[in-house]
Amino acid sequence: MPSVKDLRERIRSLKNTQQITKAMKQVAAAKIRRAEQARKEARPYADTLTEMLRDLMAAVSTVDHPFMKPGNAGAPSGVILMTADKGLAGAFNSNVIRAGELYLRDHKDVAWYTVGVKARNAVRRMGNTDRPSWAINVPSKLDVAREVAHTVTEDFVNGKISDITLISSKLISMMSQKPEVRQLVPITPDDLRDAGDAAPTDDKVRGAVEFAPSPEFVLSRLLPKYLEFTIFSAILETDAAFFAAQLLAMNNATENAGKLIDELTIQMNNARQAAITKELLEIVGGAEALVKG
């Protein structure tokens, strides 16, 4: 049985750990509010962009743009694997990485583009060479999204990859975050229709829209922006999902530390009582021996 001193040291260590988890919980709670606000502010732009693309797709007969055509069939699949830079968020990062591993089983030839330090490290552990890697915890997330979109677009247009797929986390609720696998390129009208399901619908008759110089020209300029903003939205979603997962993990860690402290306190009290009882018995035994002697 551990001594009273050992139990006291373990309780002190657990209390220090509990203070750290409480602080991290408060930080995650503050950051998730900002991440949720950024995600909500970006939603109107995403809805409007998707709606405009659907209108353009309906207005043109043919679209001469690489994003609307199948890629090089002999090239590997291009996968953007997106995680957080840090851990201490339960199974948040490992769930996304596991989704990437499952994708790799079905697609033997994959070119990885990693966003987030954990994704970069996971791809290297898989024994695969990652393409350019980006950190997600940076001041300007829009610049990161532009760089990622520009890199994968160049590789797709040049035939180095056959498609562009995004694997990232989706924030279902504060208690649930799930990995999501989406093919971004080639783009089909069904993809735009699915992306706009969450947007509010307007049953009123809409007026005719005139695009200059032509719908085809406007569409060719908007498609790269659509890819860029889709990646940006995924970064914001990953940010919010990470802090939600970290908040839950730190809350559980704080509660578990409290339970362990209670259990060790009971053990320490029992050990102290046993030591006192033993000393009393020794004193009584010694006194009896003196009396008999």
Query: Are 41 and 74 in contact, with CB atoms under 8 Å apart?
Result: no
Cα Rg of the chain, angstroms: 29
Instruction: Say how far apart CA 19 and CA 225 lie, in whole Å.
Output: 45
β-strand pairing of 164-173 with 176-185: antiparallel
Bridge partners of residue 177, in order along the sequence? 171
**Residue 111 scores a pLDDT above 50:** yes
Instruction: Say how far apart CA 209 and CA 273 lie, in whole Å.
Output: 85
- Report cis status (omega within 30 of 0) of the bond before 44: no
The CATH number of 4-20+250-292, from 1.10.645.10, 1.10.287.80, 3.40.50.720, 2.40.10.120, is 1.10.287.80
**Residue 127 scores a pLDDT above 60:** yes
| Residue 10: CB atoms within 10 Å | 16
**Residue 87 scores a pLDDT above 80:** yes
Q: What is the pLDDT of residues 31-48, one digit of tens each?
A: 888 888 888 888 888 778
- Give pLDDT, residue 248: 92
How does residue 16 score in pLDDT terms, banded at 50, 70 and 90?
very high
Using a pLDDT cut of 70, give the percent of the chain over it.
87
Domains 4-20+250-292 and 35-242 in one fold? no
- Does the pTM of the predicted model rise above 0.85? no
Instruction: Say how far apart CA 205 and CA 208 lie, in whole Å.
Output: 10
Which of the pair, 242 or 201, is modelled with greater confidence? 242
Instruction: Say how far apart CA 167 and CA 177 lie, in whole Å.
Output: 13
For residue 240, the one-letter residue type is A
Instruction: Say how far apart CA 1 and CA 19 lie, in whole Å.
Output: 27
Query: Are 167 and 82 in contact, with CB atoms under 8 Å apart?
Result: yes
Q: 97-134 b/e with 16+ CB inside 10 Å = b? A: bebbeebbeeeeebbbbbbbbbbbbbbeeeebebbebb
Q: What is the pLDDT of residues 60-84, one digit of tens each?
A: 766 677 888 888 888 999 999 999 9
Instruction: Say how far apart CA 72 and CA 231 lie, in whole Å.
Output: 22
- Give pLDDT, residue 97: 94
Q: Is 216 exposed, middle or buried (0-12, 13-18, 19+ CB in 10 A)?
A: middle
**How does the average pLDDT of the chain come out, rounded?**
84
Q: What is the pLDDT of residues 131-140, one digit of tens each?
A: 788 999 888 8
Instruction: Say how far apart CA 49 and CA 51 lie, in whole Å.
Output: 5
Q: What is the pLDDT of residues 163-204, one digit of tens each?
A: 999 999 988 888 888 999 998 888 876 666 555 554 444 444
Helix (H, G, I), strand (E, B) or coil at 5: helix
Helix (H, G, I), strand (E, B) or coil at 145: helix
Q: Give the residue extent of every domain in the chain.
A: 4-20+250-292, 35-242
Query: Are 107 and 86 in contact, with CB atoms under 8 Å apart?
Result: no
Give residues with Cβ within 8 angstroms of 124, minimum separation 6.
130
Q: Does domain 35-242 have CATH number 3.40.640.10?
A: no
Which among 97, 104, 95, 92 is positioned nearest to 247, based on CA atoms?
92
Q: How far is CA 198 from the centre of its chain?
A: 21
How does residue 253 score in pLDDT terms, banded at 50, 70 and 90?
very high
**Residue 206 scores a pLDDT above 60:** no
